[in-house]
Structure 1
Amino acid sequence: MSYEINGAIVKEQDLTFAVVAVKPHIFENDKEIQKARNAYRHVFPGIPIILMSQDSQGRATYSGKKNIVQFLATVDPRRIPWRRFIIS
């Protein structure tokens, strides 16, 4: 069985990390956040994974390494190089 995720690999200021779009309910508790992050480790091995969710008005919320989250808070989510990843 395969599934799709929307994500990006970002290289910025000597740092490489992944951003994965998730549903807002993932952010309801830390256990769900960790579960989601662990689910994507095989897709993005060896790099930090930042989770991103958007509310109904398009405002982004991020979860992950503090310095990366602070950086992403200054970036319009439309500037992130999103693509679909097919996971099998």
Structure 2
Amino acid sequence: MRFQGAVVRQQGVTFAVVVVKKHVIDHRTEAEQAIHGLHAVFPGMPVVLMAPDHGGRPTYYGRQDIARFLSRVPVNAIPWREYDLH
């Protein structure tokens, strides 16, 4: 499975941001399962999920300090790339 994500280093913290569908973030159990599964690709890093709404505005789910930080960052400033989850 291919997905869009990014590894970000900010203020001494390295974390991952992964794009998911809105319904994943809307259901806590599904979001937690997604984060758990993504630790295989991003070992040892906090993972935050990002889902754009119909207008493209992002919603973040994950560690609150990181989600709060990302909410102030323009989406196009995040260094997105393609990843594989096997």
Superposition map of 1:12-51 within 5 A: 12-51=10-49
In structure 2, how many angstroms separate the alpha carbons of the residues matched to 1:78 and 1:61?
14
Structure 2, unpaired ranges of 5+:
none
**Unpaired stretches in structure 1, ≥5 consecutive residues:** none
Identity %: 41
- Runs of 4+ in structure 1 off by over 4 angstroms are none
CA distance in 2, matches of 1:16, 1:27: 21
Give 3-state SS (helix, strand or coil) of 1:11's partner. Answer: strand
User: How far does residue 87 in structure 1 lie from its aligned partner after superposition?
Assistant: 2.4
Question: Matched residue pairs, number?
Answer: 86
Supply the RMSD in Å over aligned alpha carbons: 0.8
Shift of 1:22: 0.2
Residues 55-70 of structure 1 correspond to what in structure 2 (within 5 A)?
55-70=53-68
Q: Which amino acid aligns with 2:11?
A: Q
Normalised by the length of structure 2, the TM-score is: 0.95
SS in 1 for 2:44: coil
Which residue of the partner structure matches residue 4 of structure 1? 2
CA distance in 2 between counterparts of 1:28 and 1:15 reads 26
What TM-score results when the alignment is normalised by the length of structure 1? 0.93
